[in-house]
Amino acid sequence: MSQQIFFAHANGFPSGTYGKLFAALAPEYQVTHLEQHAHDPRFPADDNWHNLVDELIHHLKQQPEPVWGVGHSLGGVLHLHAALRCPELYRGVVMLDSPVLTRTDQWVIRAAKRFGFIDRLTPAGRTLGRREEFSDLDAARVYFAGKTLFRSFDPECFDAYLQHGLHKVGDKLRLRFDPATEISIYRGVPHTSPGRAGQLKVPLAVVRGHKSRVVMRHHVNSVGRMPLGESLTMPGGHMFPLERPQDTALLLKNLFSRWDGRRPQECV
């Protein structure tokens, strides 16, 4: 019988983009996900991502059993905060190139918000003014293929992004993930946490891309000091789950096999 993974995507990348990763996890694991976080009007993007964590918990409570929580970037942080609040919903959490923020990180983020330079600290500044509309699929393909972020994508994952990241509006193609929502998510990056990560009651792994500029050495060190925490490394950069989906699936399978049998505790 397959075990359940609840996957949460990176900001701006609908879950359908990760289809090759999901397929590689089958048949041992069944992947459940929201197609796009922060697009339900009941849970709009807000400061410190409280609503986004509420949205995730809302859907986790509808699952028949505790899940393996796997999240990429934004999604990893959402799972961490949800697991700090309700560990009984989880068997374990894996953060794919998501940092466990230290107190110093949180202080810097708080200052960046207060003094107006959060757009330089996060990708929000690079997202402002980005192209949102394309005449056709070929034009979109050429545009995204020229961006450094997509350069190392697995070809099937790149095609999946074009399929799931765009939708038809009139005679044009537009970004499916609302750009204003994407910017709001970046600007609301948490400077608070539901609790100390070191008190997490389920196993936690942070998997860092070898060339990542998001998960830094001090983040890795802090996870290594956690009683149920561990850090792992994958080839590639911040987008390694979409660069090496099959290798990522193998890592997850091996990790869950090793963790299997541990159980979460109570909700806080």
pLDDT of residue 261: 63
> In this structure, are residues 97 and 214 in contact, taking their beta carbons and an 8 Å threshold?
yes
- The total number of structural domains in the chain stands at 1
d(CA 100, CA 31) in angstroms, rounded, equals 24
Q: pTM for the whole thing?
A: 0.95
> In this structure, are residues 10 and 146 in contact, taking their beta carbons and an 8 Å threshold?
no
pLDDT of residue 221: 87
pLDDT of residue 85: 97
What is 38-80 written as a DSSP string? T-STTS---GGGHHHHHHHHHHHTTSSS-EEEEEETHHHHHHH
> In this structure, are residues 8 and 75 in contact, taking their beta carbons and an 8 Å threshold?
yes
Q: Which residues of the chain have pLDDT under 70?
A: 261-268
Question: What residue type is assigned to position 64 of the chain?
Answer: P
> In this structure, are residues 101 and 193 in contact, taking their beta carbons and an 8 Å threshold?
yes
pLDDT of residue 267: 43
d(CA 117, CA 234) in angstroms, rounded, equals 31
Cis peptide before 27 (omega within 30 of 0): yes
Could you list the residue range(s) of the whole structural domain that residue 189 is in? 1-268
pLDDT of residue 233: 96
Nearest to 180 by CA among 128, 117, 118: 128
Q: For residue 239, with 0-12 CB atoms within 10 Å meaning exposed, 13-18 middle and 19 or more buried, which class applies? A: buried
pLDDT of residue 266: 42
Alpha helices in 135-239 (DSSP H): 137-145, 155-164, 179-187, 217-224
CATH code at position 252: 3.40.50.1820
Looking at residue 214, the DSSP 8-state letter turns out to be S
| Greatest Cα pair distance in the chain | 55
